[in-house]
Amino acid sequence: MIVILNGFEHEVAPNTNLADLVAKVSRAETGIAVAVNDEVVPRHAWSATPLSSGARIEVLTAVQGG
């Protein structure tokens, strides 16, 4: 199925959960925040968050600059 990852269409296998997707697309699990449909999902809930077709997923990286 297709989800929208950081604004682009992205093919994922059916029954993919958020943790699976993050593991595929991010080099690390810390220092990032992940939002599904404009709401942040805490890291401990990623594996219990199923993805549905068309879901908008945003992987944000913490930046330190000021």
Contact residues for another protein (CB under 8 A)? Answer: 23, 26-33, 35, 38-40, 42-44, 58, 60-66
Which tokens hold the place of 3?
């989800």
Q: How far is the CB of 12 from another protein (least distance, A)?
A: 16
Nearer to another protein among residue 1 and residue 45 (C-beta): 45
Nearer to another protein among residue 15 and residue 64 (C-beta): 64
Q: Which residues pair with 3 in a beta bridge?
A: 10
Q: How far is the CB of 48 from another protein (least distance, A)?
A: 13
Beta strands 56-61 and 32-36 are antiparallel
Nearer to another protein among residue 14 and residue 27 (C-beta): 27
Which tokens hold the place of 61?
């990286």
* Cα–Cα distance for residue pair 19/15, rounded to 1 Å: 11
